[in-house]
Structure 1
Amino acid sequence: MQPELQHLHDALTRHASERPQQIALWGDSVQIDYQSLLADVQQRQALLREQGVEVFALAMDNGPEAVLWDLAGLFAGIACVILPPFFSPAQRAHCLQQSGVSLVLADAGMGAELEALGYRRDQQFWRATRPVHGLALPAGTAKITYTSGTTGAPKGVCLSAAALLRVVRELEQASRSSAPQHYLAVLPLAVLLENLGLYAALLAGATLSVPSQRQLGISGATGVDWPRLFGMMAARQTQSMILVPQLLLGLVVAVERGAFPAAGLRFVAVGGARVSADLLARAAKVGLPVFEGYGLSECASVVCLNRPEANRPGTVGRPLPHVQVRLGDDGEVLVKGTTLLGYLGEPAFTGQWWPTGDIGAFDADGYLQLRGRKKHQFVTSFGRNVNPDWVEAELTQRAGIAQAFVYGEGMSQNVALLWPRDPACSDALLQAAVDEANAGLPDYARVHHWLRLAEPFTPDNGLLTANGRQRREAILARYREQLCPSLSSSVSA
C-alpha cells in the first residue's frame, strides 16, 4: 500500500481501537462508529474488486454510503469519478462517456437518467449494457474530478492517491490546534475541496456529519434554505466546516442578526472563490473563526491556507508545506508539488510548475495575495467556474440576441448585458430567448438577470476590437455599477 494510503488506513485502525464507539459517519439518520467503519469499507472494497473495472462513478447525494464507497475505491486502487449534482444531465453523460465508466453507484433518483444512457440496474450497481470506450487514464489515477463547467464539456483532472492524501494530511495539521471534534460536510462530495475535507476529518478521528443536500436545505449550485441549513448546523453542534463565500455571507448575516451563535464554531475554512475583505472583517467582528485559503483541482485542491497561528485576512495565507509557490514574470502564480497526473485524454503532465492562471503577489511575510485572473473565466460566490464565452454563445445563438456579455465574479447570480438583433424587439422576446438558453445550461451558468443595452458594442465606442472581439475589461469598466449589485441583498437568513 502506498505510504499516504497506509497513513490513512493506520489512522482509521487506530481510531477503531482507541474510540470504537465514537460516531465516525452521521447521515440523515444512519450512524456508523469507528469500530464498524473499516469493516464496512473493506466489504465494499471487495465488491468493487470483483467487478474487474478500472474506473467507477458515484452519482450519490452526500451520506455515509457515498463516503464508504469512495473510501473503498481509494483503498482498492480503482479510479473514482464523483458526478457533480449541479452539472446538467448532458454534462454528466459527457463525464461518464469520457472516463469510460461501465459501473455506477447511484441514488434511486438517478435511475431514469442512467437508463437513458444505456445503464441497467444490477443489484446495487448500474452497469453499461454496451461497451463504453473512454479515454486512457494516466497511470496511478485514483480520482477524476471534473471542473465545474468552465465550458459545456468539462475537463477531467486526474489525480493520484498520494497527491490527494498529502493535501489531506496538511489540512488536518492546519486545523489541529483548534481541535474540532465535529465536522459538517456542507458542499457536495463531488467538490474536491469537500471530498478532501471529509478525509481530513476522519484522519483526525472527528465525527463527520454527511447529511444529504436536501436535509441541509441546499439545492443545485445556488439554492439555499438558510433556516434549514442553520438548523442542521445547530442540531449537529458543528465545530468545523468548509464554505464557499456565498455560504459564509449567509452565516455572517445570521450571526449578526442573532439567528445563529458563533460560539461553538472552531475552524471555518472558506475558499473556491474570491472573498471580500469586508466580509472577512464582518466575520471577525462577530467572532467567527474564518480562515481563507486558495487552491485548484489541478494541484489537488488546497495550496495556501490561513491558520489560527498564521492568519492574515486579505490574503489566502502562506503556502502549505507540501508545495512550493512562486510568481512568473507576469505575476502568474506557479505551483510545484501535488500537481495533476494530466487531463483525461491529454498527454501526461510532466512539468514541475503548474501555471494557475491567477495573478498574485507575496507580502513581506510570505502571505499570498490574489489580484485577478489571466483569462475571462469567472468564479461565482458559490465556487463555480463559468466561462462567459460559453454562456454568451448560447445566448447569441437565439433568434433575438445579437450581442451578450455575461458576468458573475464573486456574485451569487449571473448578470448579462444584451443587445437585440432588432432594436424594436420587446423585452418579453428577449426574456424568452434568455429562458431558452437557460434551459440548456446548468443552474450555476444561467443568466439570472439581464440589462438591455442602449447601444451595441462597436470598435468606435471602444467595446469591440477591430476584428469584432469584445474588449471585456472596457465593457466591465463602463458597466460595472449595473453588473455588480450588492451581494448582501441576495441573502436573507
Structure 2
Amino acid sequence: MTTRTTAPTTLCQAFQATAAKYPDRVALRTPDDSVTYTWRAYADKVRTLTAGLAGLGVKPGDTVGLMLTNRPEFHLVDTAAMHAGAAAFSIYNSLTAEQITYVLGNAGNKVMICEEQFVPVLQKAIPGTAVEKLVCVDGHPEGTITLDELEAAADPSFDFDATWQAVEPSDLLTLIYTSGTTGPPKGVELTHANLIAEIEATAPILNPGPDDRLVSYLPDAHIANRWGAHYTSIHTGMQITTLDDLKQAIAVLPTVRPTMFGAVPQVWYKLKGAIDKTLADEPSPVKKKLALWSIDVGRKRARLMSDGKPVPKVLELQHALADKLVLSAIRKKLGLDQVRAAVTGAAAISPEVLEFVLALGIPCSEVWGMSETSAVVTLNRPDAIRIGTVGQPVDGVEIKIAEDGELLVRGPLLMKGYRNDPEKTAETIDAAGWLHTGDIAEIDADGYVKLIDRKKELIVNAAGKNMSPTNIEGALRAACPMLGGAVAIGNDRPYNVALLALDPDALAAFAAEHGLTGAHEELVQNPLVVEAVDKAVQVANSKLARVEQIKKYKLLPNIWEPSGDELTPTMKLKRKPIDAKYAEEIDKLYEKN
C-alpha cells in the first residue's frame, strides 16, 4: 500500500493511495448491506483477482470484457484488470449475440467476466472471437469458471506491486463502445491520463470526497457512470451503493440518502411525473394549494437565479417559508434531502423540467460531454446554474464554434482514438487536435454553452426553417410523463409530426389509477389514454413556436426498448432506422384529410 504524497498519474496509484488512507471506511455496498467492502477488503480482493487474471494469461496491454449489472463485483474485477495493466470494458446488457460478437471482435479480449443470466447470450456470441475463458461471478454454469477458481489460477510468482507500478499514464485504461446511432459501435480508447485529467477538472467543481455517497445504477458501459461512480470513487474515496435494477433507482434513494446524484433526463421526468400525480391526488385543497404555491415560489427563485437577476427580499422570505413547510419535506420523501450536487446529462433535458427540479431545492446541473472526451466537457457550476445551457467548460479544456456552427473541443480529455480505426479517428480529431463533436452550439459572453442539436439531425422544413427536434421532443416528454419515446419529424415537410410510444410502467400506473385493464397494445387505444396524450401534446405545443408545433401524431402500440429498433442502449433515438421502420405511418400523417 502507498500513501498519497503527490497527485496520482494513474488510476492504480489513485486506488492504492485511497485504500491506504481510508482502510476502514466502506467503499462498496448494496442497498441492504448484504454485501459490503471496506477499502482494505476492496484492496485485498483486487490483489488476489489481479493475480488470478494474470494466471489466466492476462498481460499488460490486453483487454478484459465485463457483462455485469451494477454490483460490487464490477468494481472489484474492473480495478483488478487495471492493476494487471489491462483495459477493462463493459458491454451493454441489452445487446444481442450478434452485437456482442462485433464488440468482442473489435476488443480482442481473451477473458470475459459476466453474471449467470448473461452466459447463454455470451456463449452464442463468443465463437469466432478471441475469448478463451468465461468467468461467472454469481454461479457456475457449464463452460465457465467461478471467481474463486479465478483467484486460484494465480501464479505464486506473480509480482502484483511491480505490475501495477509499471502502468503508465499513457496506457489504455478502458474502452467505451459508443451506442451506435449511425452504425456499428466504435471503441473509444481512453487512457489513465485521460480519466485523471477528467477527475482533476471536475473534482474542484463537484468536490467529491470520502464523506460522499452515490448510487451506481446507470450502465457501467457508459462513460458517465464509469467516470462518476467508479473512477471518481477510486480517486476520492466516495462511497458507492450499487443497484442492479435501474427501475428501482428512485425507490432506493430514501434508504441511501446520497450526497451526490447523477441521472439521465428520463429519471427526472419520472420524478416530476410522480410528484405531479401525488399533488393531483391530494385530497386536502389547503395542502394542495400550499404545495403548488411553494413549488411556484421555488420556480420563480430558480429562474431569477438562472437569469443572473437579484432575488427580491420578499421572494427570499417566501422561499424560506415554502422550503420549511413543503419543499424540504418533498426532498426528504424523495431521499434527496442531503444531495449537495446533482447532474443531468447523456441527453438534453427539458428546461421546464430542470426548472421544476431546481424549484424543489435540488441543485441539478446540466452537463455535456462524450465518450470521446472522457465524459464531462462543460458543466453548470452548482452555484451558477443557467437553465437551457450545459454550462461552461471545465479547466484545461478549449472549446470553439466552427464556421458551420459545430462545437469543437481540444485538451487532455480527448480520447487516444477509435480502436482499430485510424480513418474514423482522423475524421473526428483534426490535424490541429480539435475534436469535431457533431453538435451545433452557441457560446454566450459568459462562456455558457447552449446546444442546438446534432449537426445531422436538425429539422429543415419545406420552407427552409431550421428547428431542433430535441427541443420539440423535450417539450413532449415534459408534458406527458407516460411517454417512453418521442420522435419529431418534419425534414423537407410542410409541418412537423411525431411518433409517440408509451412507457409500460407509466401506462400501467395510469391504467391502475383509472381502473383500466388489458395488454399494453389495448391500453394504448383506450379513449382515456388517448385523451390524456392528446391533452399533453396540446400543452407541449403551447410551449413551442408555431413552426415547431406538432400538427399530427401517431400513438404507437409497441414498446421502445433500449438496444431495440428505435433506441440505443443509452436511450438515444435511432432516427434513420425509425424513419425506415415507420415510413408508412409517417406518410399517413402527411396525407390530406
Residue 585 of structure 2 is aligned with which of 439, 446, 452? 452
**Which residue identity lines up with residue 348 of structure 2 in the other structure?**
R
- Shift of the alpha carbon at 1:254? 3.8
Residue 221 of structure 2 is aligned with which of 187, 190, 193? 190
Could you say which residue in structure 1 is the equivalent of 2:26?
A: 23
- Consecutive unaligned residues of structure 1, counting only runs of 5 or more, are 128-138, 219-223, 389-404, 414-429, 462-493
- Shift of the alpha carbon at 1:142? 2.2
**Which residue identity lines up with residue 452 of structure 1 in the other structure?**
E
More strand by share: 1
- Shift of the alpha carbon at 1:326? 0.9
Deviations 1:98-121 (A, max 9, x none): 221221011111111222233663
Q: Note if contact 2:258-2:336 (Cα within 8 Å) is conserved in structure 1.
A: no
Q: In structure 2, what is the Cα distance between the partners aligned to 1:411 and 1:300?
A: 33
- Shift of the alpha carbon at 1:6? 4.3
Correspondences of 1:139-178 after superposition (within 5 Å): 140-176=171-207
Correspondences of 1:238-387 after superposition (within 5 Å): 238-255=258-275, 257=278, 258=330, 260-337=334-411, 338-347=413-422, 349=426, 351=431, 352-376=433-457
Q: In structure 2, what is the Cα distance between the partners aligned to 1:167 and 1:332?
A: 22
1:321 partner SS: coil
Q: In structure 1, what is the Cα distance between the partners aligned to 2:352 and 2:16?
A: 44
**Which residue identity lines up with residue 124 of structure 1 in the other structure?**
T
Residue 146 of structure 2 is aligned with which of 116, 124, 131? 124
Deviations 1:230-269 (A, max 9, x none): 2311111222121101112222344564552542222111
Correspondences of 1:219-230 after superposition (within 5 Å): 224=247, 228-230=248-250
1:72 maps onto 2:104 in alignment: no
Instruction: Identify if the C-alpha distance between structure 1 residues 108 and 18 changes in structure 2 by more than 3 Å, giving closer, same or farther.
Output: same
TM-score, normalization by structure 2: 0.59
**Which residue identity lines up with residue 370 of structure 1 in the other structure?**
L
Could you say which residue in structure 2 is the equivalent of 1:41?
A: 46
Q: In structure 2, what is the Cα distance between the partners aligned to 1:376 and 1:264?
A: 39
Instruction: Identify if the C-alpha distance between structure 1 residues 34 and 438 changes in structure 2 by more than 3 Å, giving closer, same or farther.
Output: closer
- Consecutive unaligned residues of structure 2, counting only runs of 5 or more, are 135-142, 151-169, 279-329, 459-468, 478-484, 488-495, 505-555
Q: Note if contact 2:367-2:379 (Cα within 8 Å) is conserved in structure 1.
A: yes
- Shift of the alpha carbon at 1:122? 4.6
What root-mean-square deviation, in Å, do the aligned CA atoms of Structure 1 and Structure 2 show?
3.9
Instruction: Identify if the C-alpha distance between structure 1 residues 453 and 15 changes in structure 2 by more than 3 Å, giving closer, same or farther.
Output: closer
- Shift of the alpha carbon at 1:171? 2.8
Instruction: Identify if the C-alpha distance between structure 1 residues 62 and 358 changes in structure 2 by more than 3 Å, giving closer, same or farther.
Output: same
2:334 partner SS: coil
Instruction: Identify if the C-alpha distance between structure 1 residues 155 and 454 changes in structure 2 by more than 3 Å, giving closer, same or farther.
Output: closer
Residue 243 of structure 2 is aligned with which of 196, 211, 214? 211
Deviations 1:342-395 (A, max 9, x none): 21221155730000010111111111111111113988989xxx9x9xxxxxxx
**Which residue identity lines up with residue 172 of structure 1 in the other structure?**
A
2:214 partner SS: strand
1:452 partner SS: helix
1:202 maps onto 2:335 in alignment: no
- Shift of the alpha carbon at 1:289? 1.2
Q: Note if contact 1:178-1:266 (Cα within 8 Å) is conserved in structure 2.
A: no
* Bigger mean CA deviation after superposition, 42-51 or 352-361: 42-51
**Which residue identity lines up with residue 307 of structure 1 in the other structure?**
R
Q: In structure 2, what is the Cα distance between the partners aligned to 1:18 and 1:56?
A: 28
Deviations 1:120-151 (A, max 9, x none): 63523799xxxxxxxxxxx8332111111314
Q: In structure 1, what is the Cα distance between the partners aligned to 2:116 and 2:348?
A: 36
2:257 partner SS: coil
Q: In structure 2, what is the Cα distance between the partners aligned to 1:8 and 1:329?
A: 38
TM-score, normalization by structure 1: 0.70
Q: In structure 2, what is the Cα distance between the partners aligned to 1:353 and 1:188?
A: 28
- Shift of the alpha carbon at 1:168? 2.2
Q: In structure 2, what is the Cα distance between the partners aligned to 1:18 and 1:178?
A: 12
**Which residue identity lines up with residue 108 of structure 2 in the other structure?**
G
Q: Note if contact 1:12-1:34 (Cα within 8 Å) is conserved in structure 2.
A: no
More helix by share: 2
1:274 partner SS: coil
Q: In structure 2, what is the Cα distance between the partners aligned to 1:406 and 1:300?
A: 36
1:144 partner SS: strand
Instruction: Identify if the C-alpha distance between structure 1 residues 40 and 289 changes in structure 2 by more than 3 Å, giving closer, same or farther.
Output: same
Instruction: Identify if the C-alpha distance between structure 1 residues 113 and 371 changes in structure 2 by more than 3 Å, giving closer, same or farther.
Output: same
Deviations 1:419-466 (A, max 9, x none): xxxxxxxxxxx989x99x9689877559799683565989xx9xxxxx
Q: In structure 1, what is the Cα distance between the partners aligned to 2:342 and 2:255?
A: 17
Instruction: Identify if the C-alpha distance between structure 1 residues 344 and 178 changes in structure 2 by more than 3 Å, giving closer, same or farther.
Output: closer
Instruction: Identify if the C-alpha distance between structure 1 residues 374 and 185 changes in structure 2 by more than 3 Å, giving closer, same or farther.
Output: same
**Which residue identity lines up with residue 99 of structure 2 in the other structure?**
Q
Instruction: Identify if the C-alpha distance between structure 1 residues 368 and 180 changes in structure 2 by more than 3 Å, giving closer, same or farther.
Output: farther
- Shift of the alpha carbon at 1:63? 1.0
Q: How many residues align?
A: 397
2:175 partner SS: strand
**Which residue identity lines up with residue 346 of structure 1 in the other structure?**
D
The higher radius of gyration belongs to 2
1:56 maps onto 2:61 in alignment: no
Identity fraction in percent: 26
Deviations 1:18-68 (A, max 9, x none): 432211011352100122222222222222233334111011111111111
Q: In structure 2, what is the Cα distance between the partners aligned to 1:354 and 1:312?
A: 25
